[in-house]
Amino acid sequence: MPSASHRPTWDPFRAEAIIADHAQMPGALLPILHALQEEFGHVPEPAVPLLADALNLSRAEVHGVITFYHDFRHDPSGRHVVKLCRAEACQSMKGEHTASHLLRRLGIDWGGTTPDGSVTVEPVYCLGLCATAPAALVDGEPHGRLTPESLAGIVEEARRA
């Protein structure tokens, strides 16, 4: 899988700086993991021993936290990330039908990235856009009342940009 071109590659010095910025916070691990993912697009494996050292935890504990939370990626995402809601309010407005259209069109499954590395589709359970369902965040921007056609258009537009 091609790595996401918009993110910097692994840089232990940058990672250590991010960890040091947060290490004094009480309960610092989640804020650090968010910051690492923000920087690298995922939580790179070599960050685990650095985190364990800085926070006086075992590697197993750090690994346990990273794998517990759905948000933290173990591999780089595509250049564009589509977070599609699969929860009940979106189901009631044919969200699953809209989602399966997109996945078929892109030739991927939930959590997958297109072979050209351009789009990753991730499931989310509720964006709080339940009265404008079905809904998605595309590169962090909200879209509501989606249809298979409108969603395909939004994703294509993001891909071209």
Of 12-20, 98-106, 118-126, 151-159: span binding other proteins (CB under 8 A) = 118-126
**In the complex, minimum distance from the CB of residue 6 to other proteins, in angstroms, rounded to a whole number:** 18
**Mask for 48-87, x = binds other proteins (CB under 8 A):** -------x-----x--xx--xxxxx----------x---x
Q: Which is closer to other proteins, CB of 3 or CB of 132?
A: 132
Site residue total, other proteins (CB under 8 A) = 43
User: Token pair 């909200």 is at which residue?
Assistant: 142
Tokens of 108: 């991927």
- Cβ distance to other proteins smaller for residue 79 or 83: 83
DSSP state string for the chain:
-PPPTTSPPP-HHHHHHHHHHHTTSTT-HHHHHHHHHHHHSS--TTHHHHHHHHHT--HHHHHHHHHHSTT--SS---SEEEEEE-SHHHHTTTHHHHHHHHHHHHT--TT-B-TTS-EEEEEES--S-TTS-S-EEETTEEE-S--HHHHHHHHHHHHH-
8-37 residues in contact with other proteins (CB under 8 A) are 26-31, 33-34
User: 122 to 151, contacts with other proteins by CB under 8 A?
Assistant: 124-133, 135, 137, 140-145
What is the contact surface with other proteins in residues (CB under 8 A)?
Answer: 26-31, 33-34, 55, 61, 64-65, 68-72, 83, 87-93, 124-133, 135, 137, 140-145
